[in-house]
Amino acid sequence: MVSRTPIAFDVLGTCFSLDPAKEALRDVFKTVSDAQAESVIQDWFHSAQRDFTYLSMNGSYTPIGQVLKSTLPRILLMHSLVPASSASPSTTLSTFDSSLTDHIISTLTAMRPRPSLSPCSDLLLSHDFCLLAATNGALETTRGLFEKGLGKDVADRWEYFSTDEARVAKPDPSVYVNIWKKLGVEEGAEKEGWFIAAHTWDLFPAKKAGFKTVFVTYEEHLVLPDLFGEPDIVAKDLEDAAKQIIEREGAQA
């Protein structure tokens, strides 16, 4: 059985890992352990996501790449990787020691694909699903990540959507309406599609917008149904997600 059922994927953390940023942090700060690097980089991304969303909510949408760059000195200070005396309250990225930030920032365009991304993509494309990368990141950066991770020929078979287009951040409900529109489904029309993410905060509004949802457990681990409800599928990785979607859709793997 073939399908043109659309499947939207979150990108940062879901399709691509933050491992290069963690490795860069350890290159810069030689005494940092693997566990500490994990904590620092996750805190950087989560707080940047918060600030990105709050700026958008208040009519000051700022591309997430800029938010990540601007907030990196703060994270390094908050985790005591550099002494508080090395900065003032008015310190910005441009006045901070670039030898501590440049290498880490360079990883934003060199994120590593999850090992299960390629088999997931191959499996779903072979069953004629329509695949869309739906990101808070920049459109061209996202295309570049998929081209490096999957090869240009495969990446060209994906569609791409960035919140930069409407300058409204996920998880605003309008973003998921715009994702449906990108997939050719107008507001009020019958909806049939999936949304895959490693973040429950992303799946919650996606389900409200009419998507069936897939939670991939390798980052947040817990569904937290008392807060976000139950996803339609819980998967250990993207390949597992693809297999379960195909089974649900009645296709033969």
Name which residue leads in pLDDT, 132 or 250.
132
* CB-based burial label for 53 (10 Å; 0-12, 13-18, 19+): buried
**pLDDT at residue 251, as a whole number:** 52
Q: Is the pLDDT of residue 133 over 70?
A: yes
**pLDDT at residue 171, as a whole number:** 96
Q: How confident is the model at residue 189 (pLDDT cuts 50, 70, 90)?
A: low
How far out from the chain centre does Cα 194 lie?
16
- % of the chain residues with pLDDT over 90: 93
Q: How confident is the model at residue 29 (pLDDT cuts 50, 70, 90)?
A: very high
> How do residues 67-117 score in pLDDT, each as one tens digit?
999 999 999 999 999 999 999 999 999 999 999 999 999 999 999 999 999
**pLDDT at residue 191, as a whole number:** 82
* Closest to 148 in 3D by CA, of 43, 16, 8: 16
* Averaged pLDDT for residues 155-160: 98
194/151 Cα distance (integer angstroms): 24
Q: How confident is the model at residue 252 (pLDDT cuts 50, 70, 90)?
A: very low
DSSP-assigned beta bridge partners for residue 215: 197, 234
* Averaged pLDDT for residues 6-17: 97
**pLDDT at residue 96, as a whole number:** 96
**pLDDT at residue 16, as a whole number:** 98
* Averaged pLDDT for residues 4-12: 95
Q: Rounded mean pLDDT of the chain?
A: 95
* Averaged pLDDT for residues 111-126: 98
Q: How confident is the model at residue 3 (pLDDT cuts 50, 70, 90)?
A: low
* Averaged pLDDT for residues 138-145: 97
SS3 per-residue string spanning the chain: CCCCCEEEECCECCCEECHHHHHHHHHHCCCCCHHHHHHHHHHHHHHHHHHHHHHHHCCCCCCHHHHHHHHHHHHHHHCCCCCHHHCCCCCCHHHCCHHHCHHHHHHHHCCEECCCHHHHHHHHHHCCCEEEEEECCCHHHHHHHHHHHHCHHHHCCCEEEECCCCCCCCCCHHHHHHHHHHCCCCCCCCCCCEEEECCHHHHHHHHHCCCEEEEECCCCCCCCHHHHCCCCEEECCHHHHHHHHHHHHCCCC
* Averaged pLDDT for residues 138-155: 97
- % of the chain residues with pLDDT over 70: 97
User: Domains in the chain, ordered, with CATH?
Assistant: 6-16+111-249 (3.40.50.1000), 19-109 (no CATH)
**pLDDT at residue 19, as a whole number:** 97
Beta-strand relationship, 112-113 and 16-17:
antiparallel
Q: How confident is the model at residue 2 (pLDDT cuts 50, 70, 90)?
A: very low
Q: Is the pLDDT of residue 190 over 80?
A: no
